[in-house]
Structure 1
Amino acid sequence: MKVLLYAQNYSPRLHYICAFIFKEVMGVECTVSCDLEEFKSYRGVKINYSNSRVCENEFYIFPVDLLFQNNIVPQPVECFKINNNQAFFKIDHADFSFDIFAASFYLLCRYEEYLPHQKDMYGRYAHENSLAFKEGFLHLPLINIWAKSFVAALQNKFPSFTFIQHAFRFIPTYDIDIAFSYKHKGLWRNAGGFLKSPSLERIMVVCGWRKDPFDTYDWMDVMHKKFQLTPVYFFIVAAKNGLYDKNILPANKAMWQLVKKHAEKYAIGIHPSWQSGDDASLLKQEIVQLKTMSEQEITCCRQHYIRFNLPEGYRRLLNEGITADYSMGYGSINGFRASVASSFYWFDLKKNETSSLRIHPFCFMEANAYYEQKLTAPEAYEELMQYYAACKNVNGTLITIWHNQMLGRDKLYNGWPVMYENFLKAIS
């Protein structure tokens, strides 16, 4: 199946969003053409994306200006309801009630994050700024939902139109921020920790009489094997510790072995330290360090504390050979930051071009549920099941973030390992 889309002018933004909606989401080839005669004579599925209708056997969408602009300016976004879901860029006298191409592009490229906005306490784009949060659709993969409605409308106009029904996928990912609670931290760190908070458990772990409460790796392996999962692990390997970087240092043999063990079984990626966000030269050093420890190329990344800003953050990754990033989500609330449950190529809005960086958005992080949303494990389970249902309903991909310490034996996180296992049982 091939779709021909007519536009009066060439637009890199239009080419990008058509490639995503048709090829990525629908599995359908789409050619964008400015040749009116070619469009008129075409006998297949054709979409007219111009200022006026040109023939009877076409699907007509009146374009708003966004995709034909080259600058970045505030857009007139006014939401309205369609099929009980929010939409914007409403259009009249067309075959669809809103400009799905422009609206999807606005959300997917994170247009609003390039506009002036208030940062949160960590210097990140605050979720309270987002249209999705303000209009109450942060919990939905809205672009995928729109795409389903769009498919139905196209099939109504062209009954022969077919598309590929993608299978739902679940990808668990893990951030190894603090590999061990007590073990392998050395005499002075443990002595200082004991003086601050005396603990019999610390003594027993250091003496080898009890397993470290954060050492849950074997249990996680059992879960992966039992439920046939293909996880991705992200490791912090900063050369020194800081306020937000508290992992076992890479010079430690135990940390080296931990990375090597996981690299032999699973996909791994860099978890850039907080320090690397302030000193760009550290990112390259940490990638090289992880490459040495794992004995494999490092092309995946997730930012520590989800700390990045556009476009600089993603450009830095591209400069260091990163081709896949798993940071598209919020570190302050769960939900769909880009309003999508599918991976996509990042569009550099300032350069007005498609990049080679593949974005894998997540929508649930247990640390958000626990620390930010103040949910109990049972409450977080219900939220997680809602995200599962939302992704499965659109045949999307559910990506979650977990931390080894929250899946261990620390009393602070009682109930969370059980919650995770119950979730895996429920969706298997």
Structure 2
Amino acid sequence: MLLVYTHKISPRLNYVFKHICTRVLGIEVAFTTKIEKFIAHDNIKMSYTKQQLGSEFFIKSNDLLFEQGLNDIDINIMEWGQTKGFFFNGDKSAMPFDIFAASFYLLSRYEEYLPQVKDEFGRFVATESLAYKHKFLKQPVVDIWAYKFKAALQKQFPDFQFPEKSYRIKPIIDVPSAYHYRLNGVMRTVGGVLKDVFTLRFKGLYNRFMVLMRFKHDPFDTFKYFINKQKQTKFKFVFFFLLGEYSTYDKGTNPNSKGFISLIKHIGDYSDVGLKVSFFALDDAAILKKEKTKMEEIINKPLKASRQSFSKLNLPETYRNLIELNVQEDYTMGYVNEIGFRAGSCTPFLFYDLDYEVQTPLKIYPYHVMDFALLKHKSLLDKRRVLNNIINEVKQVNGEFTPVFHNYTLSDNMRWTGFKELFNLILESVTDEN
């Protein structure tokens, strides 16, 4: 166990040390403000405060972990080997940057509480982030810093044995609409036919009738392929199904359709199933509760995981609503159009509520690439290259790679040509590791 001496044990300090030490590095950590207890500890230990006590392993602390609320913070990004660092703390410290304060800034999403420009859906955009502006978005810097910390500790305590971790994956399958033509109901089907006619989309009209007459397979129905792939890997996929009402933003399958309910139950026999929260449920706790209850009736157990429609987060309200309803995990933390690490980490972390200054039980699983972000790369070769690059970043810190694919991504639509190969590349990245 690592013992940390500090002048004040704050909720922020407790939160970030446990993420870096326990979740990333796998070692237990405890804290003390008593010098005599620190001196008596005969195992691995360090001090985290303003002044070094003696010759112990010491990291000079920034004020951030001992503050409350939001403040104007002067952040100066500097080069640090092959990565970047901030909160420089001088030469006397065992590490040149206060990685704990910097990690807290990123994990708490401190910058997302500050005034910023949002997109048309009201989302925080990658280009507003510190990581994008200073070109470290594509590195899991929190995990990289943690391993630098580990190396420094091992140098000071060569006999201490750190546990080993291994690279893993958690593929997310987002299902905004299970089928393109099937189970849409009479009114939507008639509306779709009329739209095809008036816009002269005769190929779409032909495909619609061929699917409805069961002569062709629905293009969005790729579930058999996913299930076959799930059977070939020990890492569970997580499917997120939309149960919200038909609206301007959400055009999912009728949540009361027996065929749709049967599909969700079938998927749940092989993979984990979560709720894709509808756009209007993001700001309406009553709608969210209704959708959660509906999903629980289908899967016949408490809902464990959610993912927000359009990857939209309103911090801290979105996460507070989930906590209120006892949802344990959320998979929304990422960028739709950019590859990278929105919270700086490829290790799941607990949500820290900056307004209440408290660590919550909600576990955040950040995703690192969405299929849409790969579309900006024209050739399949380029897509493979950028995908391999981000996978390698996660492998270097033995993290968990979380990609988001949609069910229609693996269809025969020309727009998604080659995406089956990309999905397989992700699954094979674990085989390569083994």
Q: TM-score if structure 2 supplies the norm length? A: 0.94
The two structures, once aligned, show a CA RMSD in angstroms of 1.5
Residue 401 (str. 1) matches residue 407 (str. 2): no
- Local SS of the residue matching 1:391: helix
Find the counterpart in structure 2 of residue 132 from structure 1. 131
Equivalent position to 2:217, from 211, 214, 237 = 211
1:120-149 superposed Cα distances (whole Å, 9 cap, x missing partner): 211011211111101101111111111111
Indicate whether 1:382 and 2:375 are aligned. no
Residue type of the alignment partner of 1:154: L
Change (3 A) 1:46 1:419: closer
Deviates more, 1:374-383 or 1:157-166: 374-383
Aligned to 1:360: 365
- Asked if 1:237 corresponds to 2:243, the answer is yes
Distance in structure 1 (CA, Å) of the matches to 2:172 and 2:223: 13
Spell out, residue by residue over 1:266-319, the C-alpha distance to the aligned partner (whole angstroms, 9 max, x if none): 211111001212432100000001111121210211111111121111001001
Counterpart of 2:60 in 1: which secondary structure? coil
Assess if the C-alpha contact under 8 Å between 1:74 and 1:115 holds in 2: no
Q: Deviations over 1:222-247 (max 9, x none)?
A: 11223444101111001x20111111
What 5-or-longer segments of structure 1 have no aligned partner? Answer: none
1:315-326 mapped onto 2 (5 Å cutoff)? 315-326=320-331
Runs of 5+ consecutive residues of structure 2 not aligned to the other structure = 197-201
Change (3 A) 1:26 1:332: same
Write the letter of the residue equivalent to 1:87.
G
Q: Secondary structure at the match of 1:302?
A: strand
In the alignment, the residues of structure 1 paired with residue 270 and residue 149 of structure 2 have an alpha-carbon distance, to the nearest angstrom, of 40
Superposed, 1:68-217 pairs within 5 Å as 68-92=66-90, 93-197=92-196, 198=202, 199=204, 200-217=206-223
Whether 1:294 aligns to 2:299 is yes
Give the alignment of 1:58-77 within 5 angstroms.
58-77=56-75
Aligned match for 1:338, one of 339, 343, 349: 343
Asked if the contact 2:16/2:100 (under 8 Å) is kept, the reply is yes
What CA distance in whole angstroms lies between the structure 2 residues aligned with 1:273 and 1:122? 13
Separation of aligned partners in 2, 1:392 and 1:422: 14
Identity over aligned pairs, percent = 33
Distance 1:204 1:345, change over 3 A: same
1: distance between equivalents of 2:425 and 2:2?
43
Query: Deviation per CA, 1:323-364, whole angstroms, max 9, x where unpaired?
Result: 111111112312100010101111111111110001111101
Give aligned pairs, total: 423
In structure 2, do the counterparts of structure 1 residues 74 and 424 end up closer, same or farther at CA, with 3 Å as the change threshold?
Answer: same
Q: Deviations over 1:143-202 (max 9, x none)?
A: 111111111111111212321121111111111101001111133322322332332111
- Partner of residue 423 from structure 2, selected from 398, 414, 420: 420
Q: Indicate if the aligned counterparts of 2:169 and 2:430 stay in contact, CA closer than 8 A.
A: no
Matching residue of 2:199: none
